[in-house]
Structure 1
């Protein structure tokens, strides 16, 4: 809210009383003050007593600052086990009871649900976007939409969020089998509740419920592919196409920022995930209607860390590759490839207006103000995607062996390493994975292993599955190289074919 509405009805404080309230906040004192009828400090969301202060601030380390790899300067020799600790352990259970009854009653949820919801906002949300900031919709748009009313659509999103969060907690507690199974059981309960509420909504979906239904479909997809590592996530996308067609005329994504943010997440995720589909899929309502409808805004792609132009090219490359696989070769394919090569060429990285290759860039970056650090990291991630798209073009349409894209692979992995050193693990999966599938040199594979080691501590199952697939690609390439008396960087391996053979359907988000 703005300043006026935030403080409406509150008495004006003199300097002495204002300082006392701030001091009491710092000391964690829970006293009755301010107004005779109120026991809340105007600067608090929760009432914190001395007995719970330690468990909240110390035991619950769900802030992703624990992922920032404070001593990550030691890469490439760091030991992941020394850098990370799970944000949830058995000793953290008392945290749930530290949430006050007032907030629990307000949300009409149990304390355990409040803790799971808190985990979503403070741990999962920062990992859903490359550079965390005030514009992170998983901290604002998704939670607020889930809690806006008691409609089946909002309830569906609420339970989907809890399912995603509980699955993540279970993954983080995988070393404690009892606790892990308990959290998985909780996650499945909320997953089922979300599907039931969503079913009610989809039968009579109104335009006013578009946001909650679209966000629910997206969150369930993430829960399946990202949190559980299941192949069932694609079925949710198959349903999204039919859902989107209901709103072709109304186009709710053009009418509010919330609708646009949620819609662009669906469009982005669909286009990226389809790059891993071994079966021809072609255009769909998500590509025809949704992508074209949401891609006009300048900041399209910010939630995944890619530019609109690059994402459109990735989508076009996929569509052309599918046509070629079916024997339908476009007459203008040569000119299109040339246009893509020009657009994705390293020279066009200068459009970012930031010197990404400055000498000793990591040391320089640490000395910059936070705003400039964020700008640098945003631009670095944009380049990551652009270079990875260049690799994708070469491997998908041009069928170039790893030797032909080695410099691009090295560029992506070095940029990813810098990004991880500065951010700690919220890098998008697609560009690093695409580069990893073509990594043949030992130093490049070592950078991939470092990324996988960090990613394995985020509670995201698709990262672990990605590691298995990448290593299988490397093994098969090496074996074929030995059999054919070739160097590994001369051997072309279709990672989608290997994925299909392994029974994997990797969500590349």
Structure 2
């Protein structure tokens, strides 16, 4: 007689609960918001859809997949009239039908995978709140509407590490571009469309068509920028924003060098402002000038030559008084005139919330700027005293970084601008944004330790391994709470020095995630990091050395590969 066969009952798990509760593996009451998220102050995403990008024909099996009974899907929705059903189906594939008015009272389309796009127009829905007394808006076709909405709903969000109600790319740039009355505003509008189209290209969305749209709008933006530059003294804020947006469009396109031309052009434009201070004109212009200086500081860390050893950002009084009893020997005295690089940088860096758009603090960016300046002086052999200056600078910077780290542990976020978030939107979850901001800031602090030790002391990876691990610990914690686009610079600085199994796995996990945002420069970043790892492994294999004892300068790798990347 055969033994009885034990039958395991197959459990069918329903698609219930919010994503955050599922990630924390706790029971969810299916409310909106659920009680757990409401109690902890988190933003609850209920049972919203999460899309996963996969390559080619590769299969994907979600560990968190659940089943939902078919009859439940539309249980709470009224039946649609046959004419409405025909129109909704026709809108899926017919561009002409998609221009027809949306059926009145219908806010869903059961025949589409994605949420229904109701009455797409440049000033509708969330964009309506962005349009400030607009006298003339562009006559956009369906393609332009698609690109504009993609910019507002996606591209503008990933320009910052996490969703932020004061995000200038979402709060100011679209609104100004929709004025569309002067050349600077027209340039910004078409630069925004080019930016969005390049992002679509790298997301794999109809690449040939999107590349055509990106190119045509890019050329249109260049034309309007040139028109604006001919009119001196007017429209400086929107013109500068347009140039900056064109620069980011180049970064998103994956071009590894052209972004620098826009940076140089924007900086020259500011220097030739004839004594004006555009950062004082409006919040919009202030954020544009801040972004320009941040790009200048971060971009300088990747320069491969030591020819230009001039200082980027002079130390502020707060910087020097906090860490030393005698001033840092870092550069010339700043002139009261703004017609010099140092003076211009000094004025911009003292504006409110400088650094918050990248998730850093002003004084932390001053540390990075000082490290870059001294490192370039050392590489160029500018002076016999350079080594002595470097030693003194290291001790001063370490003292300040230790202070920043202590403040972060005491939950002090300094001038990162968190409190201003709640002035913009009191409904924002304070605890969630504070937590994400802290992880982002910690990653920056620990990456700056790595940058200091490697750029000024040329220590091997083993010496900075603890900071590499701490950087990725904060990146992992950030990713567990948010699907946002964490700043590239700290992750890259840590990844190129990773050599332990744990840190290499963290680096690869971050690289895999970062390439899914549709930013072309991430592919170049990945190739640089992998080339650093390859050279280190090859040297260790040849010499029989521990990988933690072999230092490979990633700036030399960038030079050898002929790349010129922006780590933003």
- In the superposition, the TM-score normalised over structure 1's length comes to 0.76
For 1:447 and 1:201, how far apart are their aligned partners in 2? 46
State the alpha-carbon separation in 2 of the partners of residues 60 and 230 from structure 1.
34
> What runs of 5+ residues in structure 2 fail to find an aligned partner?
1-76, 81-99, 128-135, 313-338, 414-427
Partner of 1:402: 461
| Aligned twin of 1:255 | 281
Q: What SS does the aligned partner of 2:218 have? A: helix
Partner of 2:181: 150
> RMSD between aligned alpha carbons?
2.9
Query: Hey, what does 1:444 align to over in structure 2?
Result: 503
* Residues 108-507 of structure 1: pairs in structure 2 closer than 5 A: 108-173=139-204, 179-206=206-233, 208-247=234-273, 249-280=275-306, 281=308, 282-283=310-311, 287-328=341-382, 329-330=385-386, 331-345=388-402, 348-351=405-408, 353-354=410-411, 370-507=429-566
- What is the CA-CA distance between 1:98 and the residue it aligns to? 4.7
CA distances 1:80-139 after superposition (whole Å, capped 9, x unpaired): xxxxxxxxxxxxxx95x9525986995421121011000000001110111212100111
How do 1:15-26 residues align onto structure 2 when only pairs under 5 Å count? none
In structure 2, relative to structure 1, the CA distance for the partners of 1:180 and 1:351 (3 Å cut) is closer
Count of residue correspondences: 418
Shift of 1:235: 1.1
Q: TM-score, normalised by structure 2?
A: 0.69
Compute the displacement of 1:287 (Å): 4.9
CA separation of 1:102/1:460 partners in 2, compared to 1, >3 Å: closer, same or farther?
A: closer
SS at the partner of 1:400? coil
CA apart distance, 1:500: 1.5
Go from structure 1 to structure 2 and tell me whether the alpha carbon gap of 1:117 and 1:290 turns closer, same or farther (over 3 Å shift).
Answer: farther
The answer to whether the 8 A contact 1:345-1:390 is kept is no
The one-character-per-residue Cα deviations of 1:224-278 (angstroms, maximum 9, x if unpaired) are 1233334211111121221111125111112322211111011101110111110
- Cα pair 1:173 1:180 within 8 Å, conserved: yes
If asked which structure has higher relative contact order (CA below 8 Å, sep 6+), I would say 1
Q: Would you say the 8 A contact 2:122–2:149 is kept in 1?
A: no
Higher-Rg structure is 2
1:425 and 1:454 in contact (8 A); partners too: no
> Quick one: distance in 1 between partners of 2:561 and 2:251?
16
Structure 1 position 414, deviation (Å): 0.9
Paired with 1:246 and 1:106, the residues of 2 have a C-alpha distance of 30
Name the SS of the counterpart of 1:53 in structure 2.
coil
Residues 283-326 of structure 1: CA distance to partner in whole angstroms, max 9, x if unpaired?
46785244211211342100000000110110111111111112
Task: Name whichever structure is richer in helix by fraction.
Answer: 1
* 1:316-375 Cα distance to aligned partner (Å, 9 max, x none): 11111111112124453322210101111277333463299xxxxxxxxxxxx9211111
Does the CA-based 8 Å contact 1:409-1:438 persist in structure 2? yes
SS in 2 for 1:498: helix
CA contact (8 A) 2:122 2:145 kept: no
Q: Offset of 1:53 from its aligned partner?
A: 3.3
Change in Cα spacing, 1:191 to 1:490, as seen in structure 2 (3 Å) is same
In the alignment, structure 1 segments of 5+ residues that lack a partner are 1-25, 30-45, 62-93, 357-368
Closer, same or farther: CA 49–353 of 1 in aligned 2, 3 Å: farther
Distance 2:271 2:200 in 1: 35
Q: Is the Cα–Cα contact under 8 Å of residues 116 and 166 in structure 1 kept in the other structure?
A: yes
Supply the distance in 1 between the matched residues of 2:243 and 2:431 (Cα, whole angstroms). Answer: 35
**In 1: Cα distance, 2:509 partner to 2:340 partner:** 35
Contact 1:153 1:209 in 2 (8 A): yes
SS in 1 for 2:525: helix
Q: Conserved in 1, the CA contact under 8 Å of 2:254 and 2:523?
A: no
Give the equivalent residue in structure 2 for 1:33: none
SS in 1 for 2:457: coil
